[in-house]
Amino acid sequence: MPAAADCPLDLGRGTGWVVFSERAIVAFRPEPLRIEVGQPFSLLLNVCTRRNNPAELVAVDAQMPEHRHGMNYRPTIVSAGEGRFRAEGLVFHMPGRWELDIDVRAGSETERLSHEIIVK
Amino acid sequence: MSRWSVFLLVVTLLLGAGTEGWANLQWSQDEIRAIGAHGPWPPPATVEPSNRVSGDRAAVALGERLFNDTRLSGDGTMSCASCHQVDHGWSDGRARARGRAELDRRTPSLWNVGQSHWFGWDGAADSLWAQSLRPIVDPLEMASDSGRVAALLRGDPTLGCFYRRAFGTAPGSDDEALLVDAAKALAAFQETLVSPRTPFDEFRDALVAGDRAAAARYPDAAQRGLKIFIGAGNCNACHFGPRFTNGEFGDVGIPFFVRPGEVDSGRLGGLAKLMASPYNRLGAYNDDKSGASSLRTRHVQRLHANFGEFRVPGLRQLRDAGPYMHNGHLPTLRDVVRHYSEVSPDRLHSDGVPLVRPLGLSADDQADLVAFLRSLAADPPPRQSPPTECRAG
């Protein structure tokens, strides 16, 4: 079983977000660090169980809850192993409040963790 | 100072908290930030990686010659400039474009087209060179073919000379490749069509820099219209950034029936054409082999909601560019503003908080919004004549 250090919350560069549930913890940050309206960006994610074991990233998506529309682009996910992932091809095409949805599988359970991001 | 004077001073200070008094209007820090996002202008020149002659002076010269050359069309009567006329803001002043027949959509302006990422009203092209190629071979437009374009490049000494300077070799034997190269030269020329600075840009820069005197020169009506644009109108949700467009697509309630029983599906059909095109960024003609410039094309998704959506146009140089909307449905800027003031929510089928809703603007508000939109235009400097001679370098 991988040691806790295999699933660090620190993504480097001293910034990023952490979301968690009873079963999973996800640390992530955008690349480039500043999300600009209409500009493609990626997410670097470390996906862990609460016991600090690597977990699986199933999907990443985003929507604007007020307007009930999603992105015009579908991100793809590439695994770097040991709970590390890169989601590529996200575009927030309007300013405002976006809800980022991160679907994670830990063991046999899949759950959705969400995080709000406001872009101006 | 009397008690009453002190009270008035306190009230004034409290009301002004968090705002800046520019000219005759108050602007909050959030508003200044929103206005600042519409600049600076012009943006720095960039090179388009899918086009190996983007930014090349010889390619610009070749592209401008081709742009004005009627021999590019099947019967030798039409050039790109037949519809994209410099005196009509690189459009034609018509509600619907006219090729071999009247088409279903308006001729889009070419101002600032080099900064787009989707092209055509339906985004059926993902590069300016792919978009430039489409009307050349469209039977309803210039009705030409790769053989005719290739023969022109091989047979005309001046065009051949400019081609050699731009691409580094003489025009080759592959007709299809020469057609794409001609389109890339056309794109290199169109990338130079950057609109001039405007009264809005002077105001925006003054506001961001804290120059009260310069900011005060921007007309009050335009300032009031700008306040609606970034405030109650929420226009900058889609008309975002220095070009006043997020480059994406929307359904703003314009009728999409082109004739009885036939609709223009807009972005939905555009995405199907994009993916079927051999000239998209995923194909062999993309000069960027890193794949970085094809990211949007790889990830774009085709959604039911794309039906009836059309590209959000930039708003610079709109002043004299009517008729407006993708099909020329609205003759004047006043009609455009009235449309957004009175648009039917039933037509738009929005589930959540609608991005487009009837704004219910007063006549004065509508006039202010028009004044603001007109301030996004300025007279461009006279164009320099393209080089007529080519000296092989």
Specify the pLDDT at position A30.
Answer: 94
B237 to A75: CB separation less than 8 angstroms, yes or no: no
CA B246 vs CA B142, B182, B235, B249: distances in Å: 30, 29, 11, 8
Percent of chain A with pLDDT over 90: 68
pLDDT of B386 above 50:
yes
Average predicted confidence (pLDDT) for chain B:
92
Domains observed in chain A: 4-113 (2.60.40)
Confidence of residue B393 (pLDDT cuts 50, 70, 90): low
Specify the pLDDT at position A72.
Answer: 97
Specify the pLDDT at position A14.
Answer: 63
A72 to B249: CB separation less than 8 angstroms, yes or no: yes
H-helix segments, chain B: 3-16, 29-36, 57-67, 80-83, 128-137, 146-155, 157-167, 175-190, 199-209, 212-215, 220-230, 267-276, 295-299, 333-342, 345-348, 363-374
Segment B200-215 mean pLDDT: 95
Segment B285-298 mean pLDDT: 96
Name chain A contacts of B301, Cβ cutoff 8 Å.
71-74
Q: Which residue has the tokens 């009260």?
A: B212
Is this complex scored with an ipTM above 0.85?
yes
Specify the pLDDT at position A50.
Answer: 86
Percent of chain B with pLDDT over 70: 93
Residue length, chain B? Answer: 393
Q: Are B295 and B282 in contact (CB under 8 A)?
A: no
Type of residue at B150? A
Most B-contacting residue of A61, A64, A72, A98 (CB-CB within 10 A), to test interface = A72
B352 to A120: CB separation less than 8 angstroms, yes or no: no
Percent of chain B with pLDDT over 90: 84
Specify the pLDDT at position B15.
Answer: 41
Assess whether the previous peptide bond of B171 is cis (omega < 30° from 0).
no
Its pTM stands at 0.92
Specify the pLDDT at position B202.
Answer: 98
pLDDT of B235 above 50:
yes
pLDDT of B322 above 60:
yes
What is the distance in angstroms between the Cα of A44 and the nearest Cα belonging to chain B?
A: 17
pLDDT, tens digit, 9 for 90 and up, residues A34-93: 999 999 999 999 999 888 888 999 999 999 999 889 999 999 999 998 889 999 999 999
Say which residue, B244 or B344, is predicted with more confidence.
Answer: B244
pLDDT, tens digit, 9 for 90 and up, residues B324-375: 999 999 999 999 999 999 998 877 766 777 888 899 999 999 999 999 999 9
Segment B107-132 mean pLDDT: 98
What is the distance in angstroms between the Cα of A96 and the nearest Cα belonging to chain B?
A: 8
Torsion angles phi and psi, residue A51, rounded to 5: -90, 15
How far, in Å, CA of A54 to CA of A6, rounded?
7
How far, in Å, CA of B326 to CA of B121, rounded?
6
Specify the pLDDT at position A1.
Answer: 42
B299 to A40: CB separation less than 8 angstroms, yes or no: yes
Residue length, chain A? Answer: 120
How far, in Å, CA of A19 to CA of A25, rounded?
6
Specify the pLDDT at position A6.
Answer: 55
Confidence of residue B6 (pLDDT cuts 50, 70, 90): very low
Q: Which residue has the tokens 């699933």?
A: A7
Q: Of the candidates B37, B246, B305, which has its C-beta nearest A69's C-beta?
A: B305
Confidence of residue B392 (pLDDT cuts 50, 70, 90): low
Domains observed in chain B: 17-44+198-266+308-377 (1.10.760.10), 57-190 (1.10.760.10)
Specify the pLDDT at position B8.
Answer: 40
Assess whether the previous peptide bond of A65 is cis (omega < 30° from 0).
no
Specify the pLDDT at position B353.
Answer: 76
Q: Which residue of A has its CA nearest to B234?
A: A95
How far, in Å, CA of B95 to CA of B78, rounded?
19
